[in-house]
Amino acid sequence: MRATTHTLLKILVDQRRWRYVDFERHFRRAASECLDDGARNLTVSEAQFRRWTSGRVKTLPGTDTCRVLEYMLGIDAATLFDPPPSDLPAPAFNLEDEIDMTARDAQNEAGAAAAASVSDIALDQLRDDVATLARGYVTTPTYVVFQKAKEMRELAEANRDRTQVPAQQQELLIIAGQACALLATAAFDLGSLDGARRLSRSAALYGEAARFDPLRAFAGGTLAYIAYFSGRPAEAARLARAAQGFNGLGDVAQRRLAAIEARAFGHLGDAVSAQRALDASVADGSGRRDDLHDDVGGEFGFTVERAAMSNASTCLLIGDGGRAEAFAAQALDLARARCSAARSARVMGGAGADLAAARLLRGDLDGAAQALEAMWTVPAEQRATGLLARATRVRRGLTDGQYAQATLAVELGERIEDFARQSAPHQLGAGPLAVEG
């Protein structure tokens, strides 16, 4: 064989739009499937990957490596490192993808040049990318958030393997944990409660390894609401209470956990404990902040409208329709006051559903229909688990005997069913959820 910059391997990698992390993941999987136990841990370094795809190879890799490449790509190893056949179609070219891939490759290679450490510029960029994703969560399709967070976690891990600097190791653990926490939230919103639970526990482990308690607290709160949506409210209350005991939490973190605890007690039917936690969620704080819930914010934060929406649900659970209506109306007003870039369609839809449920309790069917206008506008890809549970509660309220002969109630019920059918969780075949109330 002879060295050439145009090898079949490079063409195949380009066609698949594989970066190093993609290639290495496929390589490890292939090695585990085609090699004996003793060789299944075979990996490819980034430097080796760059040599292979740049054509700077004069001799074939080792026997096991060749076997894995052949298994993975279905082509003889010697052929992979030779020039491609003349009749092979060129990879499809997309300028935006090419720019993005080139930028990422340049960033990865520049970072690799730092040898035993990671470039501060690369670390800053990754930190900013995770923060940007968290802050844009409310306006981004959930499956897009999941894909981007997955890439960021993998990139953080790849960089962690490169550096021996303790401070960078800790920072990359925190970044990977934040990405994992966003993965958990996205998985929950897509209706995968088991996947969300595993990812939340992984985020908590990242926080523990990094000694970063705000991340552990956030993951604990997520585990709590996964628990009550899974029909385990006692476990949810315990998890939310335990998360409040972590050190270094700001007021936003504590309010979020108190609101989650209140919902858990609402599901338990414990009105006294629910009211105590609800009061804590709206109490004046001491001005404390933390690096995650405040400085990163976004999905890690807990906006006033989101708090009001959550408290509306709690009031519905304990049978306080009047306060539920007030909290839901407040949530809608606060959300509408935001600029379009910061306005959460999910919060508006959830608050609208809770407002409709509260109005149904006092017999106001027309008012409920008007409140649901905020829910209908939520795009299908943002109709998340929490919103669907609230919509189901409204659907159940419409079957109350007082609405048995009402044409409007029938029409609204059918429209809610269509609304749920078009959602991402329904399209993905998510299982049944515990209903809110």
Q: For 88, which DSSP code?
A: S
Contacts of 435 (CB under 8 A, 6+ apart): 389, 392, 393, 396
Q: Is the pLDDT of residue 288 over 70?
A: yes
- Interatomic CA distance for residues 290 and 46, integer angstroms: 36
Specify if 109 maps to a domain: no
Other Cβ atoms within 10 Å of 377 Cβ, number: 11
- Interatomic CA distance for residues 427 and 381, integer angstroms: 10
| pLDDT, position 26 | 86
- Interatomic CA distance for residues 198 and 183, integer angstroms: 10
Report how many domains make up the chain.
Answer: 1
Percent share of the chain, pLDDT over 70 = 87
Q: Please give the model's pTM, rounded to 2 decimal places.
A: 0.72
pLDDT digits (tens, 9 = 90+) for 23-46: 888 888 888 888 876 566 788 888
| pLDDT, position 433 | 47
Specify if 39 maps to a domain: yes
Percent share of the chain, pLDDT over 90 = 59
Contacts of 63 (CB under 8 A, 6+ apart): none
pLDDT digits (tens, 9 = 90+) for 41-54: 788 888 788 888 77
**Distance between the two ends of the chain, CA-based, in angstroms?**
70
Specify if 207 maps to a domain: no
Contacts of 277 (CB under 8 A, 6+ apart): 240, 258, 259, 261, 262, 265
| pLDDT, position 437 | 46
Specify if 251 maps to a domain: no
Q: How confident is the model over 163-178, as a mean pLDDT? A: 94
- Structural domain including 43 reads 8-80
| pLDDT, position 319 | 93
Specify if 73 maps to a domain: yes
- Interatomic CA distance for residues 356 and 408, integer angstroms: 13
| pLDDT, position 434 | 46
* 80 touches 9 (CB < 8 A): yes
Q: Which long-range contacts (CB under 8 A, 24 or more apart) does 409-412 make?
A: 409/365, 412/368, 412/369, 412/372
Q: Mapping DSSP to helix (H, G, I), strand (E, B) and coil, where does residue 390 land? A: helix
Specify if 426 maps to a domain: no
Specify if 45 maps to a domain: yes
| pLDDT, position 424 | 67
Which tokens is 81 given?
């490192």
Specify if 29 maps to a domain: yes
